[in-house]
């Protein structure tokens, strides 16, 4: 495997572990907001906010579980990456899958957080639920930021892969054999 691919894989694995920790922290805050939210059962907005918080907590833990499994899979594939091209190819598939999980997870959580914040703000107990509103608002903002980071990383990896393939094509079409440094004579 190309040394640069190793570096990208290791960086992504570290990012995955960090995002896993971030999701656990976010899920913890959302769980606290969910249990402390004062709900007036006669107010549909607050009832809906509670439902969205329930959903966010569940989604957060599900995606955190997927990411930690993916991170361990990355570690195994990085370790065995030099053994066979198949392992290296699997690593690339896992990389893109992990990035997709991150983006999808934060996209869903971000939308739900914003919706929950709006419902809490419209509720009759907003003054008492101010902290819960703040939690949903900053998690929504953080989700947007992490989505942008994920998209930037995908673009960087895609650009690297494209330039790497172009180099391989140029080397293949070169009249000089890279391994032996001898000029190829067409027959």
pLDDT exceeds cutoff 50 at 182: no
- Taking only the tens place, the pLDDT of each residue in 70-84 is 888 888 877 776 556
The pLDDT of residue 48: 86
Between residues 22 and 43, the one the model is more confident about = 22
| This prediction's pTM | 0.72
- What are the residues whose beta carbons fall under 8 Å from the beta carbon of 109, sequence distance 6 or more? 26, 56, 59, 60, 63, 139, 143
Sign of CA dihedral 179, 185, 186, 187: negative
Reported as a pLDDT band with limits 50, 70 and 90, residue 165 is low
The pLDDT of residue 185: 45
Measured CA to CA, the distance from residue 104 to residue 127 in angstroms comes to 32
Measured CA to CA, the distance from residue 101 to residue 73 in angstroms comes to 14
Q: Mean pLDDT for the chain? A: 78
The pLDDT of residue 157: 72
pLDDT exceeds cutoff 80 at 50: yes
pLDDT exceeds cutoff 60 at 175: no
The pLDDT of residue 166: 61
């Amino acid at each position: 495997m190309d040394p640069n691919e190793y570096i990208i894989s290791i960086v992504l694995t570290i990012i995955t572990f960090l995002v896993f920790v971030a999701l656990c922290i976010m899920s913890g805050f959302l769980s606290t907001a969910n249990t402390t939210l004062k709900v007036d059962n006669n107010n549909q907005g607050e009832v809906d906010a509670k439902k969205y918080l329930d959903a966010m907590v569940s989604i957060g833990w599900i995606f955190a579980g997927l990411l930690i499994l993916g991170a361990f899979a990355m570690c195994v594939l990085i370790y065995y990456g030099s053994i066979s091209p198949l392992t290296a190819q699997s690593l690339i598939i896992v990389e893109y899958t992990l990035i997709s999980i991150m983006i999808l997870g934060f996209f869903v959580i971000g939308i739900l957080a914003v919706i929950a914040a709006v419902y809490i703000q419209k509720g009759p107990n907003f003054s008492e639920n101010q902290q819960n509103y703040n939690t949903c608002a900053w998690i929504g903002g953080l989700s947007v930021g992490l989505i942008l980071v994920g998209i930037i990383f995908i673009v960087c990896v895609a650009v690297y892969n494209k330039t790497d393939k172009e180099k391989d094509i140029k080397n293949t079409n070169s009249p000089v054999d890279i391994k032996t440094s001898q000029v190829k004579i067409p027959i």
